[in-house]
Amino acid sequence: MSWFSISALVTRSALNRPATRLYPIEKRTPYPKTRGHIAFKITDCTFCTLCAVKCPTGAIVVGKTDNTWAIDHGRCILCGNCVESCRESCISLRQQSWHSMQEQEVIRYR
Amino acid sequence: MSKTTIVPFGPQHPVLPEPIHLDLELDDERVVQALPSIGYVHRGLELLAERHNFIEMAQVAERICGICSFIHSQGYCQGIEQLLGLKVPPRAAYLRTMWAEMSRIQSHLLWLGLSADAFGFESLFQHSWRIREMLVDMIEETTGGRVIFGTCKVGGIRKDVDAETLQRIGGKIREMESAFNEISHIFSIDRTVKQRTVGIGVLTAEDAHALGAVGPVLRASGHARDLRQLGYAAYGELDWEPIVETAGDCYARCIVRLREISQSIDLIKQCIDRMPSGEIEVTFKGKRPQGETMIRLEQPRGEVCYYMCANGGKNLERFRVRTPTFANIAPLVHMLKGCELADVPVILLTIDPCVSCNER
Ligand code: SF4
Ligand code: SF4
């Protein structure tokens, strides 16, 4: 019966649990590799600007003279170039995604 | 001759989120002629290549398209590797193949859902996307991204996948296969699907060849041409044959994509079983690309070509992309001639248009 070929599937999914999650009450756990957001630890940073040079979007701004480090989470595309380039391992990729933004958010560290 | 009317279709149309505009010249309900126009979402990615370091550009190239993202970065990296005279290690080639096939499956499943939606079969649309979600999760598990893989780099790949994860993916892909077989069966026998697709938008083998159709559109018209036959990445070592159908109508194009999903699942299993061990990248410290090259790859939508020209600097001098949608627009215009107005969305969808990547 080619008219009703989908009925078995539809009946089964009507009786089973929904395939979707009740977001935002129920959040999914990210995988260990998930690229969520960039985290930064200023203590070891030498302000060498290598990360800023390697960033394809210009999301990182390093102040060499005033020892500041800033990231614009709206520009970051989570490519991980900065994580790979930092010799002091100051930058890391975290699994949790950054919260949704309504305006440009630049996080400054000093 | 009776008077004809021009009906505009797109760039905003409920059936298709892609910004393509067609001027349909209608005689009553029948299309006499279709005039396409594109250019609504040009982003200047080619120019960006002339300003970005050639290594970082791999990440930008991946963003040409949000669906065949991985294959774009793979094509870009293959081109640079050819200019630098690099050969990627076997493990990297196999992983690239695996991800390219995942990309193909998710693209085809997305298309199946959209086409089911276009001919009004909502539940089939939802089930196609439910299965696609399983695959997108596998992509995230292996690469860290759901749409942008971000794993391809010049000289190899960026992150290895451990044996345990590969095993797990092998299990999950089998699970997905059985779920997919169910909807694949529905697509191939259901009367609703057949009524909207059989005998609609026929493209004969001669026309497909003459108009330069690529990908599933070409293979549905009886040409066994698939660029993976060139044997790039690991395709030369895997067992597969191009999928061919002969009818050339919308239904045949749908069947080609269904069969290609099964084939890609098989290719992923082969990659996991035969995954070689060893390095995942080669180093090329200080080398700069020089000369020019042309790279062709098989994307879910068909053949994509990249032209690259470099003069030994850190940026490319010229980067040019010809995406499969561009090649398929001429066959589309031909297929639309003489069809009913109600069939236009279905025919348009069966070329799987990706206008945004077409305009780069
Ligand atoms: S590369 Fe590392 S050490 Fe250098 S500026 Fe960036 S975060 Fe600091
Ligand atoms: S992840 Fe990429 S885009 Fe984001 S800050 Fe680092 S280098 Fe820049």
Q: pLDDT by residue (tens digit) across B68-101?
A: 888 888 999 999 888 888 888 988 889 999 999 9
Tell me the C-alpha distance between B306 and A11, whole Å: 47
Instruction: Check if B322 contacts A (Cβ < 8 Å).
Output: no
Which pLDDT does position B265 carry in this prediction? 92
Average pLDDT score over residue span B236-252: 87
Which pLDDT does position B197 carry in this prediction? 83
Nearest Cα to Cα of residue B165 among B264, B241, B84, B99: B99
B30 pLDDT exceeds 80? yes
Each of the 110 residues of chain A gets a pLDDT tens digit; together they read: 566 677 777 888 888 888 888 888 888 888 888 888 888 888 888 888 888 888 888 888 888 888 888 888 888 888 888 888 888 888 888 888 888 888 888 888 78
Chain A residues whose beta carbon lies within 8 Å of the beta carbon of residue B120: none
Average pLDDT score over residue span B105-134: 86
Which pLDDT does position A1 carry in this prediction? 53
Burial class (CB in 10 A: 0-12, 13-18, 19+), A25: exposed
Burial class (CB in 10 A: 0-12, 13-18, 19+), A28: exposed
In chain B, what percentage of residues exceed pLDDT 70? 99
CA distance B331 to chain A (A): 31
* Alpha carbon separation from B32 to B22, B213, B254 (Å, rounded): 12, 21, 25
Q: Which atom of ligand 1 is nearest to the CA of A85?
A: 1
Which pLDDT does position B2 carry in this prediction? 67
Q: How many CB atoms neighbour CB A76 within 10 A?
A: 19
Instruction: Check if B175 contacts A (Cβ < 8 Å).
Output: no
Which pLDDT does position B1 carry in this prediction? 56
B106 pLDDT exceeds 70? yes
Asked if residue B16 lies in contact with residue B283, where contact means CB atoms within 8 angstroms, the answer is: no
In chain B, what percentage of residues exceed pLDDT 90? 6
Query: B 273-292 residues with CB below 8 A of A?
Result: none
Reported as type and span, the H/E element at residue B114 is helix B90-118
Confidence of residue B345 (pLDDT cuts 50, 70, 90): confident
| B43-337 classified as CATH 1.10.645.10 | yes
Which pLDDT does position A2 carry in this prediction? 64
Higher pLDDT, B331 or B359: B331
Which pLDDT does position B261 carry in this prediction? 92
C-alpha of B42 from chain center: 19
Tell me the C-alpha distance between A72 and A106, whole Å: 4
Nearest Cα to Cα of residue B76 among B324, B315, B308: B308
Which pLDDT does position B262 carry in this prediction? 92
Nearest Cα to Cα of residue B36 among B18, B21, B16: B21
Please provide the CATH number assigned to the domain covering A30-109. Answer: 3.30.70.3270
* Alpha carbon separation from B14 to A21, B7, B10, B123, B333 (Å, rounded): 26, 15, 9, 18, 20
Q: Which atom of ligand 1 is nearest to the CA of A44?
A: 3
Please give the residue of chain B at the shortest CA–CA distance from A80.
B150
The mean pLDDT value of chain A amounts to: 84
Chain B residues whose beta carbon lies within 8 Å of the beta carbon of residue A77: 59, 63, 148
Chain B residues whose beta carbon lies within 8 Å of the beta carbon of residue A37: none
**For B121-148, b where at least 16 C-beta lie within 10 A, e where not — what string?**
beebbbbbbbbbebbbebbbbbbbbebb
Which pLDDT does position A103 carry in this prediction? 83
Long-range pairs, B258-262, Cβ under 8 A, ≥24: B258/B108, B258/B112, B258/B184, B258/B187, B258/B188, B260/B104, B260/B108, B260/B216, B260/B300, B261/B104, B261/B105, B261/B108, B261/B109, B261/B180, B261/B184, B262/B177, B262/B180, B262/B181, B262/B184
B188 pLDDT exceeds 80? yes
pLDDT in tens, B131-174: 998 899 889 889 888 888 888 888 888 888 888 888 888 888 98
The pTM for the full model equals 0.87
Query: In sequence order, what E strands does chain A have?
Result: 37-40, 60-63, 68-72, 91-94, 106-109
Reported as type and span, the H/E element at residue B27 is strand B21-27
Tell me the C-alpha distance between B236 and B231, whole Å: 4
The mean pLDDT value of chain B amounts to: 86
Instruction: Check if B148 contacts A (Cβ < 8 Å).
Output: yes
pLDDT in tens, A34-59: 888 888 888 888 888 888 888 888 88
